[in-house]
């Protein structure tokens, strides 16, 4: 039983990483209706910016805020320059665009900061949290920040005019335009916010997985899976999905014999697919009704 | 998050391509075919090898095109079927000494089975969810190929070396050239089969499902059967392509069949034009040659150059090579009128 609780705790700790990433994925899905494959790379690039700032002697929290601002405007810039022209192109062409963006950011980061693994500081410290060996104060901090972000986003979307406008632009663009919402800028804003959330996720994850241009590869896969598991239309679902994903993965690694590190991911994915077969819109997702 | 989301206008994931627009005219086909036959006679062995690569990757892109462009289902798991096909061929050739031309149909049949079975759970999923399911298959495959109890046949992490076949009947041809013509014949046969498939009753059923699933089922199309059938056919063709690749590359290893391969095939389909079968070969050319060109422009930034080139292509022709072909056709038509 002790083993079980410990594994669940460790799962929650890794799950926090996935939850962060899944939240960013869902944010951009809400705004543009596509899964952004370059999301992880955008987060990685922002994290490198903050690292560079700290190398230049900027204190952690100042670097944190500057990076958020950079990520926000960077996200908007990417949408305006690269993806606005593709708004009318077929969806699959857009997906190819994400893959291209992925290649560009990954390769540029590799050239600027090279591929060696870098240490990244944590503001929360890495002592054991409340005396538990499995969960450190950093991981607890990470869970805290994720929950705070979730609450913040909830209030933003539910109680502010601009949040309402963004929701309207995402769900019924035509009607939103008729009531005077600038839907094109709402999409750009969605990109900016998703990029900033991704940057937060990146800066929280970096102390755990270490900083390097490919650090997001594995995390993003889990993030996507978590977002899909929770239902792509629900930010709360994304966070819950992230934690479940972490727990799944740890329990599968511990209790199913013959599952090494290599088979953890396929097993976690297989579990998710079985969930999806029963609930095709994810755990918390809204079932989308199509008009014929 | 809001109630308005409940009713969303059907958003077409894959645009409707009329079936006549899916192929080339007879005249153009003959010219392309003659070119494909003639070029190797004047090329070096390495170029011939690259052309062979072009053909079998084109075949794999074609398979994805039938699935996505034909039946509107999206797959990131093609690398898994490609890998199964390659392994079936390699294991049969090396461990059981079966001639290569008999291995390919077996690879096709095995992959058809695998695809058809995988199509069953995929039936309930569509769009992103289907993409994730197929993606899971793609990530699992290299690990499955490495499993210990299969190592006797598959060679585990090491992979298997495959012997290249000689030209039969004492034909005065290099191995590469023979393999090229062999591949060409297989690819042509499958291309003709695919074109006819899409023109047949089954093809019309695929397209009806792609354009509107509910309407299709209302017209009496057995949606479940045709969706899984599309998966099966696509997997079978991918498997044959994988088998051809195993013979041409003379080597199979689990890590050649990762998600990267599936993404490349996807890019090939987009660049070639979704739903336009001849575009598959253009797409294959893109995924083989453009990374090399990018590397030639800048070693350190090859990924970025590749990305920029890809962006250029999708800005200029968002519908891929199909758009170029349509433009060419219109131009030719105008010239003829004058």
pLDDT band at A133 (very low <50, low <70, confident <90, very high): low
CA-closest candidate to residue B73, choices B40, B114, B115: B115
Residue of A98 and A209 predicted with greater confidence: A98
* Gap from B28 CA to chain A (nearest CA, Å): 26
- What domains are defined for chain A? 2-120+129-278 (1.10.3470)
Q: What is the pLDDT of residue B7?
A: 35
Residues facing residue B207 across a β-bridge: none
What is the tens place of the pLDDT at every residue in B261-320?
888 888 888 888 888 888 888 888 888 888 888 888 877 788 888 888 888 888 888 887
Helical (H) or strand (E) element with B101 = helix B100-122
Query: Which has the minimum average pLDDT: B45-54, B145-154, B275-284?
Result: B145-154
Of A266, A269, A280, the CB nearest to B125: A280
pLDDT of residue A261: 64
For chain B, what are the domain ranges?
A: 15-257
Instruction: Classify the C-alpha dihedral A74-A78-A84-A90 as positive or negative.
Output: negative
Q: What is the pLDDT of residue B178?
A: 84
With cut-offs at 50, 70 and 90, classify the pLDDT of residue A146. Answer: confident
Q: Given pLDDT bands bounded at 50, 70 and 90, which one contains residue B235?
A: very high
The C-alpha atoms of residue A151 and residue A174 are separated, in whole angstroms, by: 29
Q: What's the whole-number mean pLDDT along residues B220-244? A: 90
The pLDDT-based confidence of B10 (bands split at 50, 70, 90) is very low
**Could you tell me what percent of chain B has a pLDDT over 90?**
11
Most confidently predicted of B16-25, B155-164, B206-215: B206-215
Residue A227's pLDDT is: 86
Residue B11 has pLDDT above 50, yes or no: no
Residues 6+ apart with CB under 8 A from A33: A170, B11
User: In the predicted model, is pLDDT for residue A163 greater than 80?
Assistant: yes
Give the rounded percent of residues in chain A with a pLDDT score beyond 90: 9
Q: Which of B8, B307, B318 sits opposite A103 (nearest CB)?
A: B307
Lowest mean pLDDT among A125-134, B279-288, B325-334: A125-134
* The pLDDT of residue B138 is above 80: yes
- Distance, CA of B110 to CA of A97 (rounded, Å): 34
The CA distance from A275 to the nearest CA of chain B, in Å, is: 11
At B1 the pLDDT is 39
Sign for the CA dihedral angle at B294, B296, B297, B299 comes to positive
* Touching A: B residues 186-245, CB under 8 Å: 212, 214-215
ipTM over 0.85: no
Terminal-residue alpha carbon distance, chain A: 52
B302 CB neighbours in chain A (<8 A) are: 107
Q: How far apart are CA B303 and CA B232, in angstroms?
A: 34
User: Mean pLDDT over all residues of chain A?
Assistant: 82
Partners of A118 in beta bridges: A211
CA distance A2 to chain B (A): 31
């Amino acid at each position: 039983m002790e083993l079980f609780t410990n594994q669940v705790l460790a799962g929650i700790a890794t799950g926090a990483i996935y939850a962060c990433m899944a939240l960013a994925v869902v944010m951009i899905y809400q705004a543009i209706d596509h899964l952004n494959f370059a999301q992880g790379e955008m987060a990685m690039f922002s994290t490198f910016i903050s690292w560079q700032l700290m190398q230049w002697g900027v204190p952690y929290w100042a670097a944190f805020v500057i990076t958020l601002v950079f990520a926000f405007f960077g996200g908007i810039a990417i949408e305006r320059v690269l993806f606005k022209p593709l708004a009318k192109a077929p969806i699959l062409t857009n997906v190819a665009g994400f893959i291209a963006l992925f290649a560009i950011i990954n390769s540029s980061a590799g050239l600027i900061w090279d591929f060696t693994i870098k240490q990244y500081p944590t503001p929360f410290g890495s002592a054991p949290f409340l005396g538990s060996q499995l969960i450190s104060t950093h991981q607890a901090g990470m869970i805290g920040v994720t929950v705070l972000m979730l609450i913040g986003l909830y209030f933003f979307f539910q109680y502010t005019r601009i949040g309402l406008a963004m929701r309207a632009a995402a769900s019924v663009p035509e009607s939103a335009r008729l009531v005077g919402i600038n839907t094109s800028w709402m999409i750009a804003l969605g990109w900016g916010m998703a990029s900033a959330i991704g940057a937060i996720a990146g800066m929280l994850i970096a102390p755990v997985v270490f900083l390097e241009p490919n650090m997001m590869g594995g995390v993003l896969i889990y993030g996507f899976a978590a977002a899909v598991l929770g239902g792509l239309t629900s930010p709360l679902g994304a966070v819950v999905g992230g934690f479940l994903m972490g727990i799944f993965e740890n329990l599968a690694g511990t209790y199913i014999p013959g599952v090494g590190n290599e088979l953890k991911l396929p097993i976690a994915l297989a579990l998710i697919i079985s969930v999806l077969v029963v609930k095709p819109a994810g755990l918390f997702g809204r079932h989308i009704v199509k008009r014929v | 998050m809001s109630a308005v989301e409940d009713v969303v206008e059907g958003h077409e994931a894959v645009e409707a391509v009329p079936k006549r627009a899916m192929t080339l005219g007879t005249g153009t086909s003959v010219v392309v075919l003659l070119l494909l036959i003639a070029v190797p006679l004047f090329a070096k062995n390495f170029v011939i090898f690259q052309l062979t690569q072009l053909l079998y990757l084109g075949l794999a892109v074609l398979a994805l095109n039938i699935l996505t462009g034909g039946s509107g289902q999206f797959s990131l798991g093609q690398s898994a079927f490609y890998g199964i096909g390659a392994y079936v061929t390699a294991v049969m050739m090396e461990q059981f000494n079966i001639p290569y031309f008999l291995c390919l149909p077996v690879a096709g049949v095995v992959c058809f089975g695998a695809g058809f079975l995988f199509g069953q759970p995929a039936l309930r999923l569509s769009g992103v969810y289907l993409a994730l399911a197929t993606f899971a298959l793609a990530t699992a495959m290299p690990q499955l190929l490495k499993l210990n109890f299969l190592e006797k046949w598959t060679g585990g992490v090491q992979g298997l070396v495959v012997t290249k076949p000689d030209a039969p009947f004492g034909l005065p041809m290099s191995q590469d050239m023979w393999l090229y013509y062999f591949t060409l014949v297989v690819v042509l046969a499958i291309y003709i089969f695919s074109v006819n498939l899409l023109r047949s009753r089954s093809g019309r059923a695929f397209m009806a499902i792609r354009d509107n699933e509910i309407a299709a089922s209302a017209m009496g199309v057995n949606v479940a059967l045709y969706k899984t059938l599309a998966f099966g056919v696509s997997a079978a063709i991918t498997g044959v392509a994988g088998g051809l690749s195993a013979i041409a590359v003379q080597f199979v290893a689990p890590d050649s069949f990762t998600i990267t391969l599936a993404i490349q095939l996807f890019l090939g389909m987009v660049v070639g034009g979704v739903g336009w079968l001849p575009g598959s070969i253009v797409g294959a050319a893109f995924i083989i040659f453009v990374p090399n060109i990018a590397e030639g422009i800048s070693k350190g930034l090859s990924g970025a150059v590749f990305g920029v080139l890809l962006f250029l292509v999708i800005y200029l022709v968002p519908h891929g090579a199909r758009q170029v072909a349509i433009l060419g056709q219109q131009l030719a038509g105008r010239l003829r009128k004058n």
